[in-house]
Structure 1
């Protein structure tokens, strides 16, 4: 069994992408390979085959390796609920909220779960590809580290260091990171990968030669900038995704507010791929641009994000949007916002209390300690008497909703035994839809039906799963073309 760890000089250097590409590369060669991230901080998550919750990036990496996602692939997941606190999820299950300093001390305990999960993977696969978190050179986080070199030292594995040249300063990033490591940590760095290069490689060669000479470590490859690469985002929405207020003339116009604690914004990936849809992520502080559909997304702190929407006059803007015939969808936390009131008596997401909802649907929600975690499938019914449309997705939420509006559900789901249960609601006028199901737009049939509900004639759907697989193959092709093949070959030898 082999282990290889990918660490980065910064966040978003390309660690998740490289692990996914390596996973698909080795899987195509018959290597039994699995991804592993000891600790992840992200608000985009996925439900696993064993009924737990892990980071979205590890679910994608599992897909790259041809595996069903499992909680052992990401034993510690931190979901920020405020600037100083987060929900702590250990081996797929939430154990509660912790402030940053409290978690820093808890990491000694969390390491037991990390090593336990790693040991299980180690016994099942030929190769485990480990992804670090952030940078190993965060001096203030070195004590009790379980995410980067602390883990690498504990299991004695080699490390490759990846840096993003598109940010600028790539040589300073790589050399500076090495300088801030201990002697034993520097020794386990076996080489560098430079990511997102565009231009003539000949102009970079003198820098590569200097780097190898100065550090005594090889550059294992220079990966090109891949334009229009689609992969599930690990966490935050980038500044490039925030659209200007002025909408384009491109088809159906959809607006999604970027809540302070927005979660699972991968719900909208399929819509962003459609040629007849203009989906804009819009700052809550900005006016709502003219649009056909507004989608309130998931949130890790629903009451706080709802209060933030109110502070920036979104209720009045939503009222105007509906008055002019627009449609409104709430997903998960967005669904809870659409009700009459949201109760958090035990302080599940933040301080205990209640917040009045937007009041578009007659139900109330109470947050509870036990989180619903389930992959689901069923049918979508958008009009009374209309034909049911297949839909699938997943649920990740703490709330239970009750009220008359739920007697007109948006979805009919099936449990593991095949029994039907309702989900969500549709308003009497057919303008407002609410659901707990993430991935609502991923199924092509549901996608087309929802676009038609919004007024799109002859809606063109995209098969998100097929597109995701194609992008992973593209990534693996890039790994094969640009990384050192003789170095890669050592990991293809199986016992």
Structure 2
């Protein structure tokens, strides 16, 4: 993530206390309509206009998470939004994070710390809901004392009437915050009129008082041809359409979760360094590879196709929410054998977190943290053994990669378990942390593993990884900080151009 303290000076922020704005909630007609991205855009817009915004999502469900400076866990989407707003991320921005562990259960992270595993049925029961409601309300209240405005995000549809009594993240949160709610609808999936009108009609009179407008997202074609559609929506719903945001392909912002990974390129290509990220069933923190994906020297793709994996120059084994389950799966589908064979043929193999655990001789789960299997053989690429544990390690770290002491690197850890060399193996860490501890195991320049997420956001590590393939390097490295800021500014400009910001500010300055 970017250095927000340096960015504060760049934007010369002045908190406009003279112009207090209401909290601004982006609610959705459904999931994946673009709420997170639109919220990110408004975080940057309000920053550019002299305010001190901060993001807030009471409850997030995602495998993609981030670690705050004080070692606590939040959803990655809110960390991205905080980065766009140029403020340090904190757990108050996402007090409840649900990390799916199976089809019907999730790990509950409350105020940044693991609070156990819960089934969907137990989580959504009415009993005990007041405790969670107090937690999210208190988090919002703390945040609202320091930032202006709070850019709130709902989850899924704001009209899930079967969950109304237990809702923590949508309209109950908007009512607590006295937020102005804007409904985001995705026109690209079709049925936009029905989804908007149906959502509005399913809201209670109290909820409708907070609904101030509609934003139509992902529009393709000539917007002028939709002018009659705008009038129809406004006449039916009695609220203004604040904007119609066109679909774009030239702005690159981190996605909230991995739903798009399988639609990305899954084929090797000529003329670049081909890097494959193994597409695991429980893949997590895929944002570890965002910088590489944008590097002009690299073609990065996701795949579990054994033939495509063989064509890669570099194989990256990512983090996973269930190491043993994914190890079992890649042995069953032949991916494990492809990785082992590729390694023998000189292909680079690097594992991060769960991927590092997989590269060892064995993963042990004596306490059955992940399931019923107590031990499972690894890929036998590194002379290490992992013992899974109940305690989750969450912390930001600074470290030196190998012997490169001239450039301190940054990253973060999220893992349950310890990985140690066998008695016969030499101590050979990849990283030496500034606190004096070590991380990972280094076999050689083409085979190593680490627990540190974000390690590939550091240019010194990327250059080392790509060096064996220098004959393919014919482009300049990517300046990730400049690139990210450029993308946030492009996104803000795109949304600002297509949304009536004068009307947005008028709505946010209203007291009711």
TM range (shorter): over 0.9
- Across the two proteins, how many residue pairs are aligned to each other? 486
Q: After the TM superposition, which residues 292-441 of structure 1 pair with which residues of structure 2 at under 5 Å, given as runs?
A: 292-351=313-372, 353-381=374-402, 390-404=408-422, 405=425, 407-415=427-435, 420-427=436-443, 429-441=444-456
> Which segment is superposed worse, 274-283 or 151-160?
151-160
Instruction: Note closer, same or farther for the CA distance 1:161–1:446 as it changes in structure 2 (3 Å cut).
Output: same
Q: Which runs of 5+ in 1 are unaligned?
A: none
Q: After the TM superposition, which residues 263-278 of structure 1 pair with which residues of structure 2 at under 5 Å, given as runs?
A: 263-278=284-299
Residue aligning to 2:491: 475
For the 8 Å contact 1:191–1:218, the answer to whether it is kept is yes
Residue aligning to 2:194: 172
CA–CA distance in structure 2, aligned partners of residues 307 and 286 of structure 1: 19
For the 8 Å contact 1:152–1:158, the answer to whether it is kept is yes
* Deviation per residue, 1:399-445 (Å, 9 max, x gap): 11112457111111212xxxx22211111x54311001111221223
- Match of residue 26, structure 1, among 23, 46, 62: 46
- Match of residue 198, structure 1, among 214, 220, 229: 220
Instruction: Note closer, same or farther for the CA distance 1:153–1:277 as it changes in structure 2 (3 Å cut).
Output: same
For the 8 Å contact 2:70–2:396, the answer to whether it is kept is no
For the 8 Å contact 1:242–1:283, the answer to whether it is kept is no
* Deviation per residue, 1:311-336 (Å, 9 max, x gap): 11122211221121111000001001
CA–CA distance in structure 2, aligned partners of residues 200 and 376 of structure 1: 48
1:461 aligns with 2:481: no
- Aligned-pair Cα RMSD in Å: 2.2
For the 8 Å contact 1:346–1:352, the answer to whether it is kept is no
Cα shift at 1:139: 3.6
Q: Secondary structure, in 3 states, of the residue corresponding to 1:222? A: strand
> Which segment is superposed worse, 107-116 or 204-213?
107-116
Instruction: Note closer, same or farther for the CA distance 1:25–1:469 as it changes in structure 2 (3 Å cut).
Output: same
> Which segment is superposed worse, 482-491 or 444-453?
482-491
Q: After the TM superposition, which residues 80-95 of structure 1 pair with which residues of structure 2 at under 5 Å, given as runs?
A: 80-95=100-115
Q: Secondary structure, in 3 states, of the residue corresponding to 2:248? A: coil
CA–CA distance in structure 1, aligned partners of residues 114 and 271 of structure 2: 42
TM-score (norm 1): 0.92
- Match of residue 79, structure 1, among 85, 96, 99: 99
Q: Which runs of 5+ in 2 are unaligned?
A: 1-19
* Deviation per residue, 1:36-58 (Å, 9 max, x gap): 00000011111112321101110
TM-score (norm 2): 0.90
For the 8 Å contact 2:296–2:477, the answer to whether it is kept is no
1:159 aligns with 2:184: no
